Structure 1
Amino acid sequence: MRESSAEAFFEQDGRARYVPSGYTRGPWAADSQHAGPPAALLGRAVLRREDAREDMLLARITFEITRPVPLKPLELATRVLREGRSVELVEATLTPEGGQEVMRARALRIRTEPDSVPEVVSGPVVAPPESSAAQPFFDVPWEKGYHTGMEFRFASGSFREQGAAACWLRMRVPLVAGEEAAPLDRVLIAADSGNGVSNVLDFSRHVFVNPDLTVHLHRYPCGEWVCVDAATSIDGAGVGMAESALHDERGPMGRGVQSLFVSARP
């Protein structure tokens, strides 16, 4: 089985083997995944490992995408790199069967104590999803993919306009078949869309590759919707950066940053 038919992004096949469905397919290549679903799968692994502490929040996670993530079964592994009383560092990896590692995550988790300090939140207000508009996705040459596994509503901008934009995203299907989506699943599957939401150059004439993604969170999202309020900057030498403020309907909850390799299409 190379591609799952489940109504989910992944189907679990054994303890640490995950089979992607067509919903993971990205918009650029028919045999490669959008980075959002595997990023969420790695974040899920960090929280669900057997020795994971329940009193910690994932405050920062950095994904390194060393190769395109194929639509093939993936082996998932985790290990604790540093364990302390208040902070821990955890690593998770994805490797296709018989292949080389394609994606690695390092997550920093911080000990929490509810209501121990005053809450301070700062950031702009984004129009809520119910008053935001559904906008067409940019042209994709296949029917099923990330663009159909997710729902998109724009508070400002659109996929077909260039420049900064704010987009609410909601999962249409679970991350893993038979499971309810967790709050961390919802934010990590959305955060890698910052570059696409805030595109500044013509996709038909330029290649955009983000070899990494870093997400910082001061809390997990509430509800089903996550907003990616994104802006992209590109240097003439072909190096860029997409920065995203991450919101839920309660307000700001974190930020995402992607490094970009940009070049003219051959």
Structure 2
Amino acid sequence: MAISEAFYERVDAGRFLATEYTRGPWDPGSQHAGPPAALLGRAVEEREGARCDMRIARITYEILRPVPIGPLEVTTSVLRAGRSTEVVEAALAPAGGAAVMLARALRIRVAEEAVPGVAPAPRLPPPGEVGPTPFFPVPWERGYHSAMETRFTEGAFMALGPGTCWMRMKVALVAGEETRPLDRVLVAADSGNGISSVMDFGRYVFVNSDLSVHLHRHPAGEWACVEARTSVDAAGIGLADARLHDEKGPIGRSAQSLFVAPRS
């Protein structure tokens, strides 16, 4: 069977089939968390009855267990509905199984030119000024690593310490459907831990079981940039904190809580 040039194929309104492009670098049977994060973000925005005068300001993901590559079901529910804000929950589960990933999104009502805009920090060097940076070695041909283009302006995947990386999807999120700027940011945001790794992966594990993304501006364009820094306490808890950018400038932040331990 031919593999779609996309992370997912839509089966019907709430069911999807994950392709090999979702595969993460550590387990051949599990997805990188970026694609399912984007899929849940899209589900929040596309749910039946969603208000068009609101957009996601914060979305927090709980990664309950590894997301398998295969048939998946997405469900959404409104936890709070107000005049100016709402909270929507989305769940991702294998077909007929328990949820493996949850998302809770805060959506805030917006209006054009409602208040004076306040410009944040200056832009980073654009992706056109730096060349492609290779992904670290992965033992399979297709996966998240082959579906994303990466360009570092600081650091590299194999260099320890802070990193700043422009990322662009080379395949669609859902086959045959338009890829949106929000998809591109959410696909990239879970990579902060890898972009700014501070420990040798051959000696330590440092995995995240959550992801929070705050957006003060709606993203634009094909590129998303993750400007990440990681801190680790000797007790084994870490934090990967990142500023998020598009080519127009900063758009928000992301954070990942890390479990850090020596490899057995």
Query: TM-score scaled by structure 1?
Result: 0.97
Distance 1:62 1:173 in 2: 24
After TM superposition, the runs of 4+ consecutive aligned structure 1 residues lying more than 6 A away are none
Identity %: 61
Match of 2:195 in 1: 197
After the TM superposition, which residues 1-266 of structure 1 pair with which residues of structure 2 at under 5 Å, given as runs? 5-266=3-264
Distance 1:259 1:19 in 2: 28
Displacement after TM superposition at 1:32 (Å) = 0.4
Displacement after TM superposition at 1:219 (Å) = 1.4
Distance 1:25 1:157 in 2: 24
Q: 1:124 to 1:203 in 2, by over 3 A?
A: farther
SS in 1 for 2:12: coil
Instruction: Judging by fraction of residues, say which structure has more strand.
Output: 2
The answer as to whether partners of 2:19 and 2:70 remain within 8 angstroms in 1 is no
SS in 1 for 2:21: helix
The answer as to whether partners of 1:207 and 1:264 remain within 8 angstroms in 2 is yes
SS in 1 for 2:39: helix
SS in 2 for 1:37: helix
Distance 1:75 1:57 in 2: 23
SS in 2 for 1:185: helix
| Structure 1 residue identity aligned to 2:215 | L
Distance 2:154 2:57 in 1: 28
Unaligned residue ranges in structure 2 (runs of 5+): none
Displacement after TM superposition at 1:125 (Å) = 3.0
Deviation by residue 1:59-97 (Cα, 9 ceiling, x = unmatched): 000000000001121110000000011000000000102
Count, aligned residues: 264
Unaligned residue ranges in structure 1 (runs of 5+): none
Distance 2:2 2:206 in 1: 28
Distance 2:142 2:185 in 1: 21
